Amino acid sequence: MARHMLTRAQLKDPYCEIPLARYVAFLEDAAAIDGDPHFAARVGTGFRPSHLGPVGLLFNSSSSLHRGLNRLARFLMAWQGGTAVRVHSEEDLLIWDYRLEDPELWPRQQDNEFTVAATLAIARDAFGRSARPLEIHLEHKRPEDASEAARIFGLQPLYGAPANRLVFDLREADRPHRQEDRDLIAILERHVDDLYQPAGDGDGLLGKVRTLIGLHLSEGRIGLPLIAAELNISTRTLQRRLAAHDTSLRTLIQERRMDLAQVHLRQGRSSNAEIARALGYSDSTAFWRAFKSHTGVSPSEFRPGR
């Protein structure tokens, strides 16, 4: 704890905030010291909704797994910065995606496995067999011996995925387990909103929009309707609120693309074509032109040693 500048006083405060990079590094270090490559996954299996305070109570009060995961995703992005979480359906599947946005925040195997294991644990606790996943995806590489991970998760994960993912049967995820108390849900949501109101831009809008941009960037179809729908507001309202911050969605997308492009180029591990795909450009030429226009130099000139 001292190595990562964490104190016992912080542990006693359930609302204490610490830098995400420090938290991720702490988990990696703890696993190394313990000599257990799946240290955080084992910790995650013991996670319970009560450990999340009012958010856990809100999750436990949800009528179905689908509704519970939607609420959990909404508040997780509020209380943990730099995190992209999405719950969506594809045909007969319900998919929960989680990843840290900063590509330089690596290694992060422990955070990946802890979050997946903890989410599974609270889902099983609240929704039983409806929370039995069909697939588990992890973004880090497959270990030499993957049998222990399969035992911990109850299913062999698929490794090297674009994001950490839990895949459920949609019909089971929508199966009602309890009747929701509307008054209780309303009180809890107001309380959690007050607790986790993001700081910085008043209403927290810019942080939320930037998170959603990072989540959808590689899809190449980000627009006002998509982001407004994710935020449950109209496109005109989103435009007006962004204008009040002297910015626009197009500006925020361009800023995010250029920030990530510079990270990828400094790392030197990806080609222009790979970076273009990751950032949602149609091809490497479109990426080259955008980067040159924004920075005044070409991607090749920006790369280290060029």
What is d(CA 7, CA 131) in angstroms, rounded to the nearest whole number? 35
In this prediction, residue 269 carries a pLDDT of 80
**Within this chain, do residues 159 and 276 fall inside the same structural domain, yes or no?**
no
Residue 178 lies in a domain: no
Confidence of residue 193 (pLDDT cuts 50, 70, 90): confident
Residues 41 and 160 in one domain: yes
Tokens of 88: 């969506």
153 alpha-carbon distance from chain centroid:
19
Q: Which residue has the tokens 């479109």?
A: 286
d(CA 234, CA 230): 10
**How does DSSP classify residue 19?**
-
Query: Does 235 fall in a domain?
Result: yes
**Interhelix angle 249-267/284-295, nearest 10 degrees:** 100
Domain count, the chain: 2
- Does residue 184 lie in a domain region? no
Strand, helix or coil at 40? Answer: helix
Dist CA 75 CA 83 (whole Å): 11
- Reported as a pLDDT band with limits 50, 70 and 90, residue 199 is very low
**Phi, psi (rounded to 5 degrees) for 152:** -65, -45
Mean pLDDT of the chain: 89
Within-domain flag for 181? no
Cα–Cα distance for residue pair 98/116, rounded to 1 Å? 8
Tell me the pLDDT tens digit for each residue of 99-136: 998 888 899 999 999 999 999 999 999 999 999 999 99
Same-domain pairing of 105 and 250: no
Q: Which residue's entry shows tokens 């084992």?
A: 42
The tens digit of pLDDT for each residue in 29-51 reads 999 999 999 999 999 999 999 88
Rounded to 5 degrees, φ, ψ at 162 are -65, -25
Does the residue 183 lie in any domain? Answer: no
| 155-169: pLDDT as tens digits | 999 999 989 999 999
Does residue 180 lie in a domain region?
no
Instruction: Give yes or no: residues 166 and 208 share one domain.
Output: no
Same domain membership, residue 158 and residue 214: no
Residues, the chain? 306
Give the DSSP H or E segment for 166: strand 164-169
Closest to 116 in 3D by CA, of 128, 141, 99, 94: 99
Based on the fold, state whether residues 57 and 167 are members of the same structural domain.
yes
The tokens 């240290």 sit on which residue? 39
Peptide bond into 107 cis (omega under 30): yes
**How many whole angstroms separate alpha carbon 150 and alpha carbon 224?**
41
pTM to 2 decimals? 0.68
186 part of a folded domain = no
- Which of 123, 155, 173 marks a domain boundary? 173
Please enumerate in sequence order all residues whose Cβ is within 8 A of that of 269, keeping only pairs 6 or more positions apart, or say none: none
Are 83 and 130 contained in the same domain?
yes
- If asked whether residues 25 and 90 sit together in one domain, one would say yes
Do 218 and 208 form a contact (C-beta atoms < 8 A)?
A: no
Which of 158, 173, 188 marks a domain boundary? 173
pLDDT at 19: 74
Boundaries of domain holding 132: 2-173
Residue 11 CB contacts under 8 Å (≥ 6 apart), including other chains: none
- Asked whether the beta carbons of 201 and 207 are under 8 A apart, the reply is yes
Same-domain status, 96 and 223: no
Please give the Cα distance from 18 to 51 (Å, whole number): 17
Task: Give the pLDDT score at 277.
Answer: 87
- Considering the domain boundaries, does residue 266 fall inside one? yes
Q: Is the same domain home to 160 and 107?
A: yes
Residue 162 and residue 56 in one domain: yes
197 pLDDT exceeds 60? no
CATH number at residue 230: 1.10.10.60
Tell me: do 150 and 298 sit in the same domain: no
